[in-house]
Amino acid sequence: MHSPPKASAGSSGQNNERTTANADGLVQVRRTRRWFVVCGGVVAILAFAFWGPIRLRCTTYFLLRGESPSEEALSQIMGETRNPGPLLEALWNTQRIPHRKFVLAYLNRIVSSDPGLFRQVGPMLLQATTDPDIEVRQLAFTALARLKHPQVRQLALAQLSDADPAVRLMGLQSLRRVATSNEVPLTVRFLEDPDPRVVVAAIMVLQRATAQNFAVRSSDALPQFTCIDTNPPPAADLPAILKAVQQCQQWWSLHKGQYQSSVPSLPQTQNMCLPVADFGLEDSVGNEVRLGKFLGKNVLMFFWSPGAPASLDDVSALKSLQEKQRDRLAVLGICIPAAPNCADEHADTGELGTKPVQHHSHESCAPPQTAAQLRTLARQVSDGLKINFPMLVDPQFTVGGRFDADDLPLYVLVDSHGTIRRRFVGFRSERALSAMVAETDNPSQMMK
């Protein structure tokens, strides 16, 4: 019998090596799997632990770079931030209108609950009193008054030389809270202001500073700088105002010897300006018109909507202004979509009256209007009112959102260098508009 052949020593060694290699490979695979499982677990734990801060950082990044973030989104991120001071400063430094308005509105909401925060943002709050947006200025003065800030008086006096009567009115209303006999000679000068609302505010300062009753009320100066409803606003009660002015002048003629003979000069301040990015919109016949085309001229943008008919009440003043200053000024009408079901047309306007009763909300509560429909409406308005300046359409509310055109009529004044010098809501006379345009030509009044 033959015995089976024995494996050679070399073959046996090779088999042993393969077995060992396979075993080592399995061990390595298991180790790799364990490593991936451990790493995956660590990553999951870290992601769970740090997801909130990561999400907050990403959300903040996009909100800071957005043209017109919603107030809800900004409020949510503020609620999640442990230290709001740096975020408020970052929002302010974007130099974008919606961001800056939110900052001041937020500070007014928490003015009495977080005094430490105001020590952080104090310089920013003072800077806001020279903002080109009158709404931001008003919010700044309201917060400073609540804080009883020692500079309120000086800052209020600086508003009194402004070309906009609404700013002068705001200055006098702020001064009224802290008025003393020292303000009497200066305030008397405003009894001759061309705007009756400013005159009434001056009389009320005199009443506070002298403890005299000149029989005037803030309601005597209606209308405010806003539309009260879709109808033309009522006229000011001029006889009552004139009677109060005469009483003030008679009192002053008898008592001016008790006050310093020289009237102090108003403090001068440099108003801030904001950069504006170029944009293009179609006019009523479909041609693109770009803001940059008018570089070298002052540009007065006027936002209106078919859903707010009263926002066209200033057209006659704008036509006259454009005709008289065609070489140095370009007026641009910008039609934004109507949202009539969202309009709250009977809200309280407050003391200053710079927030209009006609609100223009762009939520999905009305069928959207196409560009063609808006062009047709703009063309009909332009032809019917014989408008002598371009009427542009903003169907997507891209430009309107950038300038926060929720309240109408809205005006944005851009100077010849392409910077925003004014943003204000509500009606102004041709005289006031002309004075504001003329002021943009004075470089000493501008501060970036």
For residue 330, the cross-strand partners are 299
Separation CA 274–CA 418 (nearest Å): 9
Residue 195 has, within 13 A of its CA and on its CB side, a CA count of 27
User: What are 419's two structure tokens?
Assistant: 């910077």
Q: Are 387 and 264 in contact (CB under 8 A)?
A: no
User: What are 440's two structure tokens?
Assistant: 């943009």
Separation CA 335–CA 42 (nearest Å): 55
CA dihedral 225, 230, 235, 240 (to 10 degrees): -80
According to the model, what pLDDT value does residue 435 have?
Answer: 95
Separation CA 246–CA 215 (nearest Å): 11
Separation CA 330–CA 299 (nearest Å): 5
Q: Of 266, 284, 283, whose CA–CA distance to 380 is shortest?
A: 284
Which residues have C-beta within 8 Å of that of residue 222, sequence separation ≥ 6? Answer: 233, 234, 236, 237
User: What are 256's two structure tokens?
Assistant: 């001016």
Per-position pLDDT tens, the chain of length 448: 555 555 455 555 555 555 555 555 555 655 566 665 556 555 555 445 454 567 678 888 888 889 989 899 999 888 888 889 999 999 999 999 999 999 999 999 888 778 788 888 889 999 999 999 999 999 999 999 988 899 999 999 999 999 999 999 999 999 999 988 888 999 999 999 999 999 999 999 999 999 999 988 888 877 777 654 445 556 788 899 999 999 999 999 999 988 876 666 777 777 889 999 999 999 999 999 999 999 999 999 999 998 888 889 889 999 999 999 999 999 999 999 986 444 343 333 334 433 333 445 444 445 567 889 999 999 999 999 999 999 999 999 999 999 999 899 999 999 999 999 999 999 899 999 999 999 987 755 555 5
Q: Are 415 and 446 in contact (CB under 8 A)?
A: yes
Q: Where are the alpha helices (DSSP H) in 66-133?
A: 71-80, 84-93, 97-109, 115-127
What element of type H or E holds 373? helix 371-384
Q: Of 387, 339, 336, whose CA–CA distance to 366 is shortest?
A: 339
Q: Is 94 helix (H, G, I), strand (E, B) or coil?
A: coil
For residue 436, the cross-strand partners are none
Which residues have C-beta within 8 Å of that of residue 411, sequence separation ≥ 6? Answer: 300, 301, 302, 303, 422, 423, 424, 425, 428, 433
Determine the length of the chain.
448
Question: 């130099």: which residue's tokens?
Answer: 95
User: What are 68's two structure tokens?
Assistant: 């017109």
Q: Where are the alpha helices (DSSP H) in 303-362?
A: 315-324
Question: 């041709």: which residue's tokens?
Answer: 430
Q: Is 394 helix (H, G, I), strand (E, B) or coil?
A: coil
According to the model, what pLDDT value does residue 188 have?
Answer: 95
Separation CA 107–CA 420 (nearest Å): 24
Separation CA 38–CA 35 (nearest Å): 5
Q: Of 335, 331, 308, whose CA–CA distance to 408 is shortest?
A: 308
Q: b/e string for 142-155 if b means 16 or more Cβ within 10 A?
A: bbbbebebeebbeb
What values do phi and psi take at 420, rounded to 5?
Answer: -75, 125
Q: Are 303 and 405 in contact (CB under 8 A)?
A: yes
Separation CA 429–CA 164 (nearest Å): 10
Q: Are 245 and 200 in contact (CB under 8 A)?
A: no
For the chain, the domains span 34-131, 151-269, 271-447
CA dihedral 67, 72, 77, 79 (to 10 degrees): 150
According to the model, what pLDDT value does residue 364 have?
Answer: 41
CA dihedral 176, 180, 183, 187 (to 10 degrees): 40
Q: What is the DSSP letter of 356?
A: -
Separation CA 312–CA 4 (nearest Å): 112
Q: Is 3.40.50.300 the CATH number for 271-447?
A: no
Task: Tell me the C-alpha to C-alpha distance, in Å, between residue 200 and each of 218, 240, 423.
Answer: 6, 10, 24
Separation CA 338–CA 400 (nearest Å): 12
Q: What is the DSSP letter of 219?
A: G
